Amino acid sequence: MKREKAHAKINLYLHITGRRDDGYHLLDSLAIFAASGDELTASAAPLHKSHPDDVTLEIDGPFADGLADCDDNLILRAARSVKRVRTSGLASGLLLTLTKNLPVASGIGGGSADAAAALRIMAAHWEVDEAQIPALARELGADVPVCLKQRPARMRGIGEDLSAVPAMPPFHLLLVNPGIAVSTPAIFTSWKADHGRFRQEVELPPAWPDLDALISFLNRTTNDLQDPARANYPVIDQVLTLTASLPGCRMARMSGSGATCFGIFAAAEEAAQAARQCRAKGWWAEAGPALT
C-alpha cells in the first residue's frame, strides 16, 4: 500500500501581471504548503478489462460529499494522462482511496494537490519516464505543477513557471473556510470586470531572516483576487476580520481565488486556539506548521 499526502497550497501573495490571448492570467505568486491536506492511498488491484483507466477511485472523508457532483475527478484525469505515456503493459491496476479533508473549490488547490499526488503514485507504480511528469501536470491545471514537489516556490507564467524562493523562517498557519465553494474562473472574471490593472513582478529579498522580515515583506504585497472575492462573498470579510483580531495573528489574507483565508502565527498554541474560535463560528478551520 502506498500513501501520499496532498497538502493544501497557500498563496502568500498573488499578483496578476498580465493576460494571455487564451484568457489565462499571468501571475506572480509565492506558494507554500500547509500541514493540512487530503490523503491518497493506493493498492494494487486486479485488472478489469471493462475499466478504461485501470484505476478505481473511492472517496471518503469529511468533504467527500463536495465531490458527489464531480463527474471527472482530477485523479482520474491524471490516470488517463499517465496511461498515454506508459511505456509497458500493466501487471496490475490500482485501487485509489481519496480521503477528502480539504474543502472543495476553496483556493487552496485541493484538487490540484490530489492530481499531483496521483501522478506521483502512478509514476512509481507503472513504468513512466519521470521526465514526462511535469508536462502532464501542466496539462491538468495551472496549480498542479507546484503541487508535485509541495515545497515553497514562486509561481509565474500561469503558474507553471516555478522558481526557488529565499529560505523562510518557521511559522504556523491557520486556515479558515466559511463553507462556500468559489469558482476560480468567475473570480478572475470579476477581477477583470472591476478594471483590475496589471502589476509589476515583486522583487524578492535575498533572505527572510525572521518572521518580522517575512511579514513586513508580505505587507507590501497583496492578493489581487481578494477584493473581487470579498465583493461576491461578504462572509470572506467576516473571516478576515475575525482572523486578524485573534491573539497572535501576524497577518490575515485570502488564498488563491478563495474563499479560504489564512492567518500567520509565530506560536503553535495561539494558532490552535484561533482555529477553535473559528470552528465555534461554524467554519472549517485547521492550524498547523507551514511546510517551510
Distance of closest approach, residue 81 Cβ to ligand ADP, in angstroms: 14
Among positions 128-157, residues that touch ligand SUD (CB under 6 A) are: 141-143
Closest distance between ligand SUD and the C-beta of residue 54, in Å? Answer: 24
Q: Which of 118, 246, 257, 262 binds ligand SUD (CB under 6 A)?
A: 257
Task: Determine the residue with CB nearest ligand SUD.
Answer: 256
Candidates 118, 123, 80; CA nearest to 97 is 118
Which one of 30, 31, 74, 239 is in contact with ligand ADP (CB under 6 A)?
A: 74
CB distance 7 to 113 below 8 Å: yes
Active site residue 28: no
- 18 in a known ligand binding site: no
C-alpha cell at 240: 478576515
161 catalytic residue (yes or no): no
* Position among 56, 97, 184, 273 found at the interface with ligand ADP (CB under 6 A): 184
Residue 106 assigned as binding residue: yes
| Least distance CB 276 / ligand SUD (angstroms) | 25
On whether 112 is known to bind a ligand per the annotation, the reply is yes
Given a contact cutoff of 8 angstroms between Cβ atoms, the answer to whether 9 and 113 are in contact is yes
- Pairwise CA distance, residues 63 & 51, whole Å: 26
Q: In this chain, which stretch among 73-81, 155-163, 202-210, 246-254 interacts with ligand ADP, using CB under 6 A? A: 73-81
Q: Is 188 in the site for ligand SUD (CB under 6 A)?
A: yes
Residue tagged active-site, from 28, 54, 143, 224 = 143
Question: 3-state SS of 144-205?
Answer: HHHHHHCCCEEEECCCCEEECCCCCCCCEEEEEECCCCCCHHHHHHHHHHCCCCCCCCCCCC
Q: Which residue has the cell 500567520?
A: 264
Q: Which residues are annotated as a binding site for ATP?
A: 103-113
Residues near ligand SUD, by CB under 6 A: 11, 14, 23-25, 27, 29, 107-109, 112, 141-143, 158-159, 184-185, 188, 256-257
